Amino acid sequence: VSLDDWITALHLLSAFALVGAMVVLWFGYLALRAEGEASAALGRLFKVGSVAVGIGLAGTLVFGVWLSISVDGYDPWDGWVIAALVLWAIAGGTGDRAGKLSQQPRGVQQALVLHTVSSLAIVLILIDMIWKPGA
Amino acid sequence: VSLLAFIRPDSWNFPLLVHVGGAMILVGGVLTAASALVVARGDVRVIRLGYRALLAVALPGYLLMRAGAEWIADKEGLNEQGAPEPDWVGIGYIVADLGALLLLIALVLGAIGSSRVRKGSGGEGLLKATMVISIVLLVAYTVAIWAMGSKPS
């Protein structure tokens, strides 16, 4: 197993952590909307989701950029890589805003809308990673 | 996945999306269930949320992942008689099939446990067992994801 293989595995594991965290947060936001306010246990669940999102976002970016430089035939300025970076920024930005809004009174509905946008951006990244248009 | 893209025909992309997407949904459901059951500390609503994640997210995710795996294996010719099975494919099949058994056990124990907790007649032990199984599944899936990514041999 080469270094690039290890980096690919870590990139993939980070992507799974990110999607896993998004599912945790989906359940958290929906429970928050139903209950009106976060119980201590729900607060702890949000904490798990936030930590996993951070690991996933950081890992996908660092290992993804590494691979785009290291793997022959790929470059960081390839269209599909730039598209993934833009979508990554959208997913991170809207997700971060959703987290802040959810802590405000009656902000959970807007948080859910932004979390939906963030989730769709991640789905588009997955499609981009598999099809690699232009590669 | 990225390295494979060089030699992967376009017709393999959709089956791969079903497989990887399903696996991500599966891991998301199991991570949510394990997290909810760990952090609940007796909060019945969060315990039930964890069980729902296992039932409504992890189970459909597993079915998608497994169907996608067969589809892509068929496309790659791995299901043909006498075709060599790389180690990473073997690891994937072992984790998927043993994982299915564990997932089913966790679903049954979780259903009985959350029902008993809701009625106030115990069930905590069964939910703890569900939590332990979810954590074991997460560890196994981490190994499988590593194998799929690094493709040893």
pLDDT digits (tens, 9 = 90+) for A55-96: 999 999 999 999 999 998 899 999 999 999 999 999 999 999
Task: State whether residue B140 sits within 8 Å of chain A by CB.
Answer: no
Dihedral (CA of B93, B99, B104, B105) sign: positive
Task: State whether residue A51 sits within 8 Å of chain B by CB.
Answer: no
Nearest residue on chain A to B148, alpha-carbon basis: A9
Q: In the prediction, which pLDDT does B118 show?
A: 84
Task: State whether residue A33 sits within 8 Å of chain B by CB.
Answer: no
Task: State whether residue A4 sits within 8 Å of chain B by CB.
Answer: yes
Q: What is the mean pLDDT of chain A?
A: 95
| 62-101 in chain B: CB under 8 A from chain A | none
Q: In the prediction, which pLDDT does B81 show?
A: 82
Q: In the prediction, which pLDDT does A89 show?
A: 98
Tell me how far apart the alpha carbons of residues A7 and A63 are, in angstroms, rounded to a whole number: 6
Q: What percent of chain A has pLDDT over 90?
A: 90
The pTM of this model reads: 0.93
Which chain A positions have a beta carbon within 8 Å of B31's beta carbon? 20-21, 23-24, 52
The DSSP result for A8-34, as a single string, is HHHHHHHHHHHHHHHHHHHHHHHHHHH
Whether B150 and A35 lie within 8 Å, measured CB to CB: no
Task: State whether residue B11 sits within 8 Å of chain A by CB.
Answer: no
* Confidence class for position A135, pLDDT limits 50, 70, 90: confident
Instruction: Check if the interface score ipTM surpasses 0.90.
Output: yes
Which chain B positions have a beta carbon within 8 Å of A71's beta carbon? 2-3
Give the rounded distance of the alpha carbon of A70 from its chain centre.
Answer: 23
Q: In the numeric block, which tokens belong to residue B31?
A: 């991570």
Q: What percent of chain A has pLDDT over 70?
A: 100
* Out of A5, A13, A132, closest to residue B151 by CB: A5
A28-50 confidence digits (pLDDT tens): 999 999 988 889 999 999 999 99
* Out of B46, B149, B151, closest to residue A45 by CB: B46
- The separation between the first and the last C-alpha atoms of chain B, rounded to the nearest angstrom, is 15
Tell me how far apart the alpha carbons of residues B114 and B119 are, in angstroms, rounded to a whole number: 9
Give the rounded distance of the alpha carbon of B29 from its chain centre.
Answer: 8
Q: Give A91→chain B minimum CA distance, Å.
A: 16
Q: In the prediction, which pLDDT does B9 show?
A: 84
Give the closest residue to B118 by CA, choosing from B58, B68, B44.
Answer: B44
Task: State whether residue A61 sits within 8 Å of chain B by CB.
Answer: no
Indicate whether A103 pLDDT > 50: yes
Q: In the prediction, which pLDDT does B7 show?
A: 61
What is the arithmetic mean of pLDDT over A7-11? 96
Whether B52 and A27 lie within 8 Å, measured CB to CB: yes
Instruction: Compute mean pLDDT per 10 residues along chain B, 153 residues long, and list them.
Output: 60 95 98 96 90 96 96 88 86 95 97 90 91 96 94 78
Contact A67, A74 (CB under 8 A): yes
Q: Which residue has the higher pLDDT, A15 or A2?
A: A15
Which chain B positions have a beta carbon within 8 Å of A131's beta carbon? 10, 13
Q: In the prediction, which pLDDT does A34 show?
A: 93
Task: State whether residue B139 sits within 8 Å of chain A by CB.
Answer: no
Q: In the prediction, which pLDDT does A93 show?
A: 98
